[in-house]
Chains A and B, each alone.
Chain A
Amino acid sequence: MTRLSMLKATAATAGILLPLAWGGVSWAQDAVNLRMTIWSANEAHLALFNEIAEGFKETHPNVSVTFEPLPFDNYTTTLTTQIAGGNAPDLAWIFETSAVDFVSSGALAPLTEAFGATEGYALDDVTESATALWTRDGQLYAYPFSTSPFAMFVNNDLITEAGAQTPAELIAAGEWTWDNALASAKAVADAGKDGIVIRDFNFQNWQNLTAFWRGWGADSWSADGKTCTFAEQPMIDALTAFHNAVFVDGSMPGPGENVDFFAGDAAMTVTQISRASLLPEDGFDWDLVPLPEGPAGSYSVVGQAGVGAFANRPNTDVAVEFLAYMTNPENSEKLASFFPPARAGLLNTETLSATNPLLSPEQIEDVVVNGIANGQVIAGRANFAQIQQTVRASLDALWVADADVASVLGNVCTSINPLLAR
């Protein structure tokens, strides 16, 4: 090949390729690919999200949305690492525990105006108690797509086999208290299985104990997040009861023991009702009941998850539009089959029965509707990850048989006070 012929060939190739590449660029400018990070890899969830994304395509044919499941355990870490690496998604699910960090950071796009301008959105229908955590200065920064009450799942087979009273019997007798729940659990544990599991606690994620200690009126810190209340009497009483259940009665499994209620290993478990999907088909005779009463009376706790759009991204506006579509009344009703809704209009037994065929109308009324209406969210706070770790490290001293509850809780406050004061 002579030099001239090579030059000709190159020019010809460039002549073909360049217009193509140019066309590709202009085509890519029109197409919008949104990416939403989520922590569920459940196929039914993904199918529903893809269905909603397809629906959005009808009005926005150039927009496609991909849902990227990240591992649950390291979700926030992975998300922030993506952001730090300059590869932030357009939309992301946010844990309630990191809600304050995300909402106050300015990383998220404001939603109130865009939602208000969306036809048929009915923002007023979304309950204020559900949006409180996700709002700053009257502006909504993430939508609480899941407001899931904590409740007690029950394995009636194990309890009757052990000759103890089932929660349904206790409720009928007006004696559904933590004392009696733990007594039934002890009977099952004595018979060889396990008692009550606080799911996902694992003696590490102490915030999940909120569903237990609120029964004693205890909390981790004051409402303004500035004062540690771990060392106060309600918490001492609550964790003394918990410690006795684990180390004296054995009515709850101890640290390092892997017990799965949904595999039929335990009498009861405290978890969010969205876990109902884990119940085995043709498994044991199960029940779903509200949390028992504690010494401080009856109470309910909800766990939330939000979804927000990142600000200052090339497609932020489209992302906010998609979010408005995804959480409009029609799609909220679809989402309600997995994620209890924050819309008052959907919070009735009729709607929820249609989307949650597993639950009986009574269960929906007692646990879901009442739980969401009266439930308090888990105490969040800015810089939660560091506080979580610090409390975890101090609380470790509690998970031995001869622990001194009051002095351990005193140490918890000593170690987090400097962090709360910031």
Chain B
Amino acid sequence: MTDHSAANQKRPFWTIARKDAAAGYLFIAPQLLGIITFVLIPLGLVFYYSMHEWNVLANTFTFVGDANYQMLLRDPNLPPVLLASAIFSAGLVVLNLSLALLLAVLLDQKLKGIVVFRTLFFSPVVVSLVAWTIVWSFLLQANGGINGILAVFGIEGPNWLRTPTTAMISVVVVQVFKNVGLNMILFLAALQGVPKELYEAARVDGASPFKQFRRITLPMISPTILLTSIITIVGSLQVFAQIAILTKGGPGVSTTVLVYYLYQQAFQFNFFGYGSTLSILLFLIVAVLTFIQWQMRKRIVFYEN
């Protein structure tokens, strides 16, 4: 038991401020520990590996300085890989955001049974990604379900996953259908947060529905557009399972996006050093894109003025 009179004479170590601070640190400790173990340390290690040549089989680990980074500049496969990543991301963001917004506007109605439709469109989000993709791979086969339906209408469908253009379109569309529900819900929440008086005032002033959408809806939901576009772009750069299951990067290298190329180099070809270098490149691309989008918020997000 502590002696109270003694405590009055000497200032105790555990002041209220210190107690608060300790409690605060304890509360964030699990999260902090997780970030240190699973994000910061691996990030540091990847940077360390990227300056080494690591032959797993021969068990050699030699320092090579910036050799892997020089290889990055000379790698003849890298330009097509970056192009494939850019096409995939651009296609995904444009298709995903516009479809999500369209669905959100359509579902933002007070109709009976609208909840059923909202649930339907959201349900792919909670389906396992791998299961979803495997089912699509059956549908997209040359003699698969989609071409079967097309054949009913007398159309001979392409071999979706085996021709460069349709392979990329297929991978994008499969991914859009998987995740469009999430953006749709975010847009829906944003739409419902727009004050109804604004539309009333606009109607009184004689604004057409299109003008209302452009002048009221879009500016009011612009923070959500920014948020969803950041999430979608960052997510699109991490696409892996769909590529591994549907196309394995083919035909040619037309769907070999950066993450898949990184996987090939590190885990299939055993170039762990170069693979680490590629992941540093991916990290930089994601960081720069996020920074640009964050800077753009002043220009495109209404509330930031």
Residues of chain A touching chain B, judged by Cβ–Cβ distance below 8 Å, are 76-77, 80-81, 83-84, 101-102, 105-107, 203-204, 254-258, 312, 383, 385-386, 389, 392-394, 396-397, 399-400
Closest residue of chain A to B143, judged by CB?
A: A257
A101 in contact with B57 (CB, 8 Å)? yes
Per-position binary interface string of chain B over residues 58-84, scored 1 when its CB falls under 8 Å from any chain A CB and 0 otherwise: 110000000000000000000000000
Instruction: Place the interface of chain B in its size category.
Output: 20 to 34
Contact in complex: B56, A80 (CB < 8 Å): yes
Q: B38 — which chain A residues lie within 8 A by C-beta?
A: none
Q: Which residues of B contact A257 (CB under 8 A)?
A: 141-143
B217 at interface by CB-CB < 8 Å: no
Point out the residue from B143, B160, B267 that lies within 8 Å of A80, measured CB to CB.
B267
Q: Which of B249-279 contact A (CB under 8 A)?
A: 249-253, 256, 264, 267-270, 272
Give the distance in Å from the alpha carbon of A389 to the alpha carbon of B270 in the complex: 13
Q: Give the residue among A77, A396, A397 with the most B Cβ atoms within 10 A.
A: A396
Q: Are A389 and B55 in contact (CB under 8 A)?
A: no
CB distance from B271 to the nearest CB of A (A): 8
For the complex formed, measure the closest distance between the CB of B194 and the CB atoms of chain A, giving whole angstroms. 47
Answer yes or no: B159 CB below 8 A from chain A CBs: yes
Give the distance in Å from the alpha carbon of A319 to the alpha carbon of B248 in the complex: 36
**Cβ–Cβ contact B267 & A81, under 8 A:** yes
How far does the alpha carbon of A409 sit from the alpha carbon of B59 in the complex, in Å?
36
Contacts of B248 in A (CB 8 A): 204
Residue of A101, A105, A389, A400 with most partner-chain B CB within 10 A = A389
Confirm or deny: B162 has a beta carbon within 8 angstroms of a beta carbon on chain A. yes
Verify if B192 is at the interface (C-beta below 8 Å from A).
no
Asked whether, in the complex, the Cβ of A392 is within 8 Å of the Cβ of B250, the reply is yes
| A residues in contact with B172, CB < 8 Å | none
B141/A256 in contact, CB under 8 A: yes
Asked if B252 and A394 sit within 8 Å, CB to CB, the answer is yes
Chain A: CB-nearest residue to B267: A77
The answer to whether B250 and A77 have CB atoms under 8 Å apart is no
Query: Is A83 touching B57 in the complex (CB atoms < 8 A)?
Result: yes
* 25 sampled A-B residue pairs with Cβ under 8 A: A80-B57, A80-B267, A101-B57, A101-B270, A105-B57, A106-B57, A106-B58, A107-B58, A255-B162, A256-B141, A256-B142, A256-B144, A256-B161, A257-B141, A258-B143, A383-B269, A385-B268, A385-B269, A386-B269, A389-B264, A393-B252, A396-B251, A397-B252, A400-B162, A400-B163
Q: Are B251 and A399 in contact (CB under 8 A)?
A: yes
Give the residue name and chain of the A residue nearest to B161 (CB): A256
- Do A84 and B56 touch across chains, with their CB atoms under 8 A apart? yes
Residue pair A83, B56 in contact (C-beta under 8 Å): yes
Greatest chain B CB density within 10 A among A81, A102, A312 is at A81
Report yes or no: B57 in contact with A102, Cβ–Cβ below 8 A: yes
Q: Cα distance A105–B256 when bound, in Å?
A: 29
| Secondary structure class of chain A's binding surface, majority of residues | helix
Q: How far is the CB of B138 from chain A (nearest CB, A)?
A: 9
Return B157 CB to nearest CB of chain A, in Å: 11
Q: Determine the chain A residues whose CB is within 8 A of the CB of B272 once the complex forms.
A: 84
User: Across the two chains, which residue of chain B brings its CB closest to A401?
Assistant: B159
Bound-state CA distance A80–B264 (Å) is: 13
Give the one of B54, B141, B252 with max A CB within 10 A.
B252
Chain B positions within 8 Å of A396 at CB level: 162, 250-252
User: Interface residues of B: mostly helix, strand, loop or mixed?
Assistant: loop
Within 8 A of A (CB), among B213-257: 248-253, 256
With a cutoff of 8 Å between Cβ atoms, the chain A residues found around residue B264 in the complex are: 389
A107, closest chain B residue (CB)? B57
Q: How far is the CA of A125 from the CA of B235 in the complex (A)?
A: 58
Min CB–CB distance B45 → chain A (angstroms): 12
- Could you tell me if B269 and A255 are in contact, using CB atoms closer than 8 angstroms? no
- B147's closest neighbor in chain A, by CB? A256
Contacts of A400 in B (CB 8 A): 162-163
**Docked-complex contact B57 and A77, CB < 8 angstroms:** no
Contact with A along B126-166 (1 / 0, CB 8 A): 00000000000000011110000000000000011111000
The answer for the CA separation of A386 and B57 in the assembled complex, in Å, is 15
How far apart are B167's CB and chain A's nearest CB, in angstroms? 10
**Interchain nearest-CB distance for A154 vs B (Å):** 23
Complex Cα–Cα for A83 and B272 (A):
12
- List chain A residues, Cβ under 8 A from B143: 256-258
Whether A393 pairs with B141 at a CB distance below 8 angstroms is no
| A76 CA to B142 CA, complexed, in Å | 29
A95 to B232, CA, bound (A): 40
Q: Which of B55, B161, B253, B267 contacts A105 (CB 8 A)?
A: B55
Q: Which residue of B lies closest to A387 (CB)?
A: B269
Residues in B with CB closer than 8 Å to A399 are 162, 251
* Residues of chain A within 8 A of B162, CB atoms compared: 203, 255-256, 396, 399-400
| Pair A258/B58 contact, Cβ less than 8 Å | no
> How far is A93 from B106 in the complex, measured between Cα atoms in Å?
57
B268 to chain A, nearest CB (A): 5
Q: A80-B57, A107-B58, A396-B251 are in contact. Are A385 and B270 (CB under 8 A)?
A: yes
Provide the bound-state CA to CA distance between A83 and B56, in Å.
Answer: 7
Partner of A204, one of B57, B58, B250, B270: B250
* A-B pairs with lowest CB-CB distance, top 7: A105-B57, A396-B251, A256-B142, A386-B269, A105-B58, A107-B57, A84-B56
B274 to chain A, nearest CB (A): 11
- The residue on B at minimum CB distance from A418 is B76
The CA of A101 and the CA of B159, in the complex, are separated in Å by 36
The complex places the Cα of A368 from the Cα of B252 at a distance, in Å, of 37
Task: Give the chain B neighbours of A83 by CB distance below 8 A.
Answer: 56-57
Docked pose: A84 CA to B45 CA in angstroms = 14
In the complex, are the beta carbons of A389 and B56 less than 8 A apart?
Answer: no
In the complex, A256 Cα to B144 Cα: how many Å? 9
A269 to B206, CA, bound (A): 73
Across the interface, do A389 and B57 meet the contact criterion of CB distance under 8 Å? no
Task: Find chain A residues with CB under 8 A from B270 CB.
Answer: 80, 101, 385
Q: In the complex, which residues of chain A have a beta carbon less than 8 angstroms from the beta carbon of B160?
A: 256
With both beta carbons as reference points, the residue of chain A lying nearest to B55 in the complex is identified as A105
Could you tell me the distance between the alpha carbons of A254 and B142 in the complex, rounded to whole angstroms? 8
